[in-house]
Amino acid sequence: MTTETTPASAPRDTALTTFIDALPKVELHVHLVGSASVPTVLELARRHPDGGVPTDEARLRDFYRFRDFPHFARVYDAVNLLVRTPEDVATLVLGTARDLAAQNVRYFELTVSPYAHVRAGMSYPAVTEALDLAVRRARERHGIEIAYIFDIPADFGAEAVTGTLTAALDHPAEALVGFGIGGVEQMRAPIRDEIRDAFRAARAAGLRSLPHAGEMTGPETMWEAVDQLGAERIGHGIACVRDERLMAHLRDTATPLEVCPTSNVCTGQVAGLADHPLPRMLDAGLFVTLNSDDPPMFDTTLTGEYRVAADVFGLGRADLAALARNAVTASSMAEPAKRTLIEEIDALA
C-alpha cells in the first residue's frame, strides 16, 4: 500500500514548509521497533540472519508493503525478533532519538514492549538497563528527552499481560511514565479481565493509562479504554467519528488522541489520506495530536505528518502550531519544561 501524495493542483507553500521544519515538536506515539530506520533493520537482519527478515534494501522495502493490519503485525513481529541483545535495544532507541532530533523534536514518548524482547531471549533487567543507558546517551548526543510507555502486545495473550506488568512494576525504566496496550485490537476480547486488572495495578503504581483504541475496531473499544482502563490519552482513536456521544465525551473531557494519518492508510484502516477523519475530528473540537507511529515502515516522519496536515487537510500556521501545543500539553513532560516549549512555539507562530 502507498499513501497519497500532495495533489498537483496544490503546490507546497515553501514558507509553510519552512515553518513546519522550524516548529518545535513533541512525538507521543512512536514504537521502538517500528521506528528503526531501514539501515538499522538491515544491520540487525544481517546480525541475525536466521530471523527471516530481508538483508538487502530493495527486498526489505518490499517486505514493508502491508496488505492489512494483521500482515503488518506479522512483519512487525519478525523485525521485533531481531532485537535480541541490550546492544540491539540501545541501537534502536538512539537511532530514533537521532532521527527525531533532526526534525526539531525536543521530547518523545517511546512505546516499548518488554515482553516481546524477553520472547527474543533477553531478561527484563537487561531490557531496562539498555533503555536507561539510551536515555542518557540520547540527551548527551542529541539534546533530546525520552520517556517510555510499556505496552502490552495483545496478540500474545494473557502471558503478555502478566509479563508487561512485571516489567512495569518490578523492572521499570527510570524514564517510564505510562502503561499501554497495542497489537490487533480484536485479540483483546479473550483477555479483557486480565487487561483491566493490569491497568488498574499500573495506575495504582503511578503510571499513566495510555492504550491504543479505535484504530481497527469500532467505538466500543474506545469506550472500554475510557470506562475500564481509565485512559488518559488514546492511541489513534479514529473510530470515534462513528459515535456522536463518544465524540462529545472526548471533547468535554479534553481526552488527547494520538492521530497517525499515514499509518492508518498504510495498514488499510483508511482508504487514502483524503478520506482520513482528522479534519472531522478537528471540526468537532477534539484534542488531537499528530504522530508518526512506525515511521520507516510507513515511509513517513513526524515532520511529514505535519506536511500532510498542511498539504492534504489544508491546515495553516495557526492550526499546525495548535497541534504542536496539544502534543506538549498531553505529554508527561514536567510543567516548567512544558511552559518553556509552548512559549517557543508561540514565539514562532
* Catalytic position from the list 27, 109, 145, 215: 215
Task: Supply φ then ψ for residue 55, to 5 degrees.
Answer: -110, 5
The Cα 39–Cα 60 span in angstroms is 10
Q: Is 215 a catalytic residue?
A: yes
Instruction: Pull the grid cell for residue 284.
Output: 468537532
If DSSP codes are grouped into helix, strand and coil, which group holds residue 312?
coil
| Distance of alpha carbon 119 from the chain centroid | 21
DSSP state of 149: E
Give pairs for 333-338: CB < 8 Å, separation 24+. 333/26, 333/107, 333/145, 333/147, 337/107, 337/145
In the sheet that holds 105-112, the strands lie side by side as 25-31, 105-112, 145-153, 176-182, 208-209
Nearest-10 crossing angle of helices 38-47, 86-101: 170
Angstrom distances, CA of residue 99 to CA of 25, 102, 103, 108 = 13, 5, 7, 11
Cβ distance 151 to 188 under 8 Å? no
Q: Tell me the C-alpha distance between 107 and 299, whole Å.
A: 21
- Grid coordinates representing 128 are 531496562
Beta partners for residue 62, in sequence order: none
Residues recognised as catalytic? 215
